[in-house]
A and B are shown apart, each in its own frame.
Chain A
Amino acid sequence: MKVFYYCHSGVHESVVAAGIHLGLLPQNNKLNERLVLELPYFDDRQGWPAGTPFFIGEDEKGSQVYTLAVGNERFLAPKSIRHFLQLFQLSQEDVYLVDALKYTTALLKWGAYLSLDLNMKFIGRPLIMTAIRKSYPNYVQQVERLKVELGYLN
């Protein structure tokens, strides 16, 4: 199975959700900033252009977990990915595209803009962390719901 978490930048909410999915972050509704900063690609595209899917890791059942930037096209991007796969007659049964933009806030958007586009991490990062801390329980729940859907949890 392949799971794609997508958000505005592909390196913030989606990476946090992927981190929760993979057990790299605690699932107890409390954000651990140090662990978030240690996540691969968090707040850093490592020179790749926006839109590139980033492989974050493999979960307990062997599914690959990726993140993806979609800008403000949260409905269009998954649609075009599915159509693209259809062109090549690839099965989409085990492809999950998960909207990690659902719980985003203006604060996070601004933080991401300052940190990534203007490279002012010293202002951007605290804003991002505050925003993520607020929505963290939502991400935990979202990942739980997905794992139920995937048949991991009962």
Chain B
Amino acid sequence: MKIIYNCFGGSHSSVTAAAMHLGQISESRIPTGEQLTQIPYFDTQLAEDHGEFKYMGDDNLGNQIYIVGRRNLGPMFEPMLHGIAKIFGIPSDDYLVINTMPCVNWIMVVGGILSRKLGVISLGRPIVIYGTQQAHGNFVKLVNRIKTTVLPEKEKHQ
């Protein structure tokens, strides 16, 4: 199955959730700034990259994990992909779309805008890292819910 974590810019919350899903960052310990910046795509994607599905890795169940920045498509993104999948005959069990925006706190938003939109990386990156560390619990909850509830339920349908 392809698991698609999506957020506004595909740089912070989707990347963090995907990395946690893949075990690249720990669920029990808050990651250090260095650990976060080592994650591929963390705080690196630009406007030109938005809309592209980036492969992050395979999890231990063989699911492929992707991230994407879908900007203002927001609530339209999931119905759009479901509709397209239906039209092209992609079974709904072959993919899972997860919005990671509910994990985001305002510190991440401020840091993200500074670093990605305005390009002030020296100021924005430490802020977004601090915000991500503060939001760690949200990501743990989300990834746990996906692994313990959503994925087993999808398996049952197959």
Contact = CB atoms under 8 A, between A and B. Distances in A.
A80 B70 CA distance: 8
Interface string B21-54: 0000000000000000000000000000011110
B66 A87 contact: yes
Interface in A93-149: none
Interface of A: 2, 48-53, 64, 66, 68-73, 75-77, 79-81, 83-88, 90
Given A51-B73, A73-B71, A66 B52 contact: no
A93 to B, nearest CB: 13
Contact of A80 (B51, B75, B82): B51
Contacts, number: 86
B79 A88 contact: no
B79 A52 contact: yes
A131 B81 CA distance: 30
A81 B87 CA distance: 12
Nearest to B54: A83
Interface of B: 2, 50-53, 66, 68, 70-85, 87-88, 90, 94-95
Given A80-B70, A88-B88, A51 B76 contact: yes
B2 A87 contact: yes
B80 A81 contact: yes
Given A51-B78, A83-B52, A66 B73 contact: no
A63 B56 CA distance: 36
B75 A85 contact: no
Contacts of A69: 76, 80
Contacts of B70: 73, 76, 80
A26 to B, nearest CB: 28
Nearest to A75: B51
Contacts of A52: 79-80, 82-83
A88 B52 contact: no
Nearest to B91: A88
Given A48-B79, A52-B79, A52-B80, A72 B94 contact: no
